[in-house]
Amino acid sequence: MSIKSYILDVYAMGVEEKVSAISFQGIVNRDAPNVFCRSRFWNWPEADEKWIEWFREAKGVEFTQIENLPQLVEKLRGRIKGCVVWDPRLNQTKWIAAALAGIRDLLPIAPECIGRYGDLPIVEDLRGRWNGEMEAARWAVDNLIERTNTDIAYSVEHCWSGCAVDSIDYVVGERGFIYSLRHGKRREGEGDWQEEQRLAHQVHSKIGPNAPIFGWGEPEEDYCRLISHHNNFIMCSEAPNLSYFARIPCRRTDWTQKARRDPSSFVLEDKHYITFNTSEGDSPKMHVAIQGGAWFDPNRGKAPINWGANPICLKFFPALLEYYWDTATESDYFMGGASGAGYVYPNLMPDPQAYFEQVREYFARADMHDTDAWMHFSGPVYDRYAEVSGLESFAMPCGPYGVTAVNGGSAVVFMRGNSKLNYFNARGTAEDLANAIKEHCEKRPKPSFSTTHLVPDVDNPAAQGGYCPSDFVRVQELLGPEYKAVTMQELAVLARRALKEGRLMDACGPGYSEWDDVRKK
C-alpha cells in the first residue's frame, strides 16, 4: 500500500506563517508522513527535490501539491481543534502558542490570520495577558512545562541564517516545550541576559534528564555548557521535515558499515596518517541537507571520508540514516559528530552515565565506533566514557597535540590542540588544505596521526562553504606518498599499535611537549 503525502511550499513564507505551517505539519504527521514541506533550506536548497525523488522511488510515496496553508488545513481539518492566537507585541507568545499547539492540537496564528481558516474556532487567545517578554517567559516556565512532554524541548534562536524554527514541527508533534532565551552574553546593550540565563537553567531543571534539545542557542559554548550541566544533550537542528522523516518507514535492519575492515589488514608504515573528518555530524541539519550536496559529488568513493553522523537518529528518524547506509560506498566511513549520540560537553555533565550508555547502545546498533568529542580532554572522564561506551577513538579540538590512550589502551584520543586543521577554513581550496596538512605534519616524526575537521559542502555561496569528495581526491594527489588518508578506524588501530610499540610518544605522558615534532627518532 502506497503512502500518500501532501507537499506544502514554505520557502517563501515569513517566520510567522512558517511557525503556523510547520506546527500544523508536526501535529498531522504524528501517525503518518502526511505533509512534506518544501523549504529550500539554505544549507543546500536542492535537497527537497532529492528527498521527494527518493521517497517516491524507495518508499512508494504519492505526493499531491497543495497551494497554500489554508487549503492544507481544510484538507486535514479534523486533525485540529481550533486556533491559538499569539500577541504580536510579545515575541515570547509565539513560542507559548507553538507549545500549546502541540499540547492541545491547535493551529498557532497571528491576529491578522483570524478568519483565514474558515470556521476554525479560537480556543486560546494570548493577547493582553502579559505586560512584558520576561513576564510571559516566566509564566511559561512556571505553568506550561508541566503540561508538556518533558522528555524533549526546543530552543529558538535568532542566528545569522535567520530564526531557527525549522525543526519545530517535530517537537510540536512530540508535545514538547518550546522557549527562546539567551543562554549567555551575546552583545553589549542587550538587556539583562543573566535573568534570561537563570530562567533557561530553570527550564532545564524541569526537562529530562538525558533529553534531546532541538533548535539552537547562542553563544554556542554557553548554550552547550548549560545543557550539559543539566545532563541533557543538543540536537542542533535547523533541519526541516523531521516530523516527516520520523514517520517514513525504515526497512533496514542490518547497519553494518561497508567501510569497516579487519584490523589485522592495516599495516603500520613510516607515513603521516591523516583523516578527512566532515563536521556538523551531530546535526540533523547536515543529514537533511544531504551533506550540503557533497554526497552527490561524482568522486565520492575515490578517497576515504569520515562522514559525521548521529546514530541517535536511529531512535528518532531511522529512515534518515537508512538513506546514507543504502547509498554509501566502501570509502564512506561513518563516525559520530560532536561528542557522541547528541552534542554535549562530557566533562561538564554532573552524571554522564546515562549519556554514555546511550552512546553505547546507538553506536553499537549503527556499527559506529569513533566520534568527535567536544570540548576539552580529561583523562578520568574519557577513561570512563570509553569503558562504558566501548568506543575505539575520540577526535578532539582541544588539548595538547597528539595521541593518548584511555581505558587501558582500548581507545585512543586524537587532540588537534591549536591546529589549523580544526574547522579548517571553509572558504579555502584543496591546495590550501594540502598545504596546511603539510605544514602541520612535515616536522613531526613518522608515523604521525592527525585529524582534520571540515564542513562538507558543494560550491554554495549562500551556505557555509566547505569541501566535497573531489577536493579530498585532489588533496591526496597533492600530499604525495609520505602521507596516507585513512578512515578513523585505521587511524585508531595504527595509533594504538604505534603507542604500544613505542614508536609514538603519549601526548599525556611524562616528558611530552607539543613540540616533540623536532625530536630525533
Strands (E), 117-207: 122-125, 153-155, 158-159, 162-163, 177-179
Q: What domains lie within the chain, and their CATH numbers? A: 3-245 (no CATH), 270-510 (3.20.20.490)
pLDDT in the model for residue 189: 59
Q: Give pLDDT < 50 ranges for the chain.
A: 516-521
Query: pLDDT per residue over 401-420, tens digit each?
Result: 899 999 999 999 998 877 88
Strand-pair category, 402-406 with 411-415 = antiparallel
pLDDT in the model for residue 519: 41
d(CA 409, CA 492): 11
Q: Is 310 exposed, middle or buried (CB count within 10 Å of its CB: 0-12, 13-18, 19+)? A: buried
Whether the Cβ atoms of residue 381 and residue 271 lie closer than 8 Å to each other? no
d(CA 138, CA 148): 15
pTM of this structure: 0.95
Whether the Cβ atoms of residue 386 and residue 407 lie closer than 8 Å to each other? yes
pLDDT in the model for residue 509: 85
Of 114, 86, 120, the C-alpha closest to 16 is: 86
The owner of cell 512584558 is: 132
pLDDT in the model for residue 521: 34
d(CA 36, CA 72): 11
Cβ neighbours of residue 427 closer than 8 Å, sequence gap 6 or more: 465
Map 282-307 to HEC letters.
CCHHHHHCCHHHHHHCCCCCCCCEEE
What DSSP letter does each residue of 217-286 carry, written as one string?
-SSHHHHHHHHHHTT-EEEE---TTHHHHTTS---------TT---GGG----SSEEEE-BBS-TT-HHH
Cell numbers at 160, concatenated:
545569522
Exposure on the CB side of residue 375, measured as CA atoms within 13 A: 11
pLDDT in the model for residue 236: 85
Of 135, 136, 147, 138, the C-alpha closest to 203 is: 138
Cβ neighbours of residue 172 closer than 8 Å, sequence gap 6 or more: 22, 23, 26, 27, 98, 99, 101, 102, 178, 243
Query: pLDDT per residue over 374-395, tens digit each?
Result: 888 899 999 999 999 999 999 9
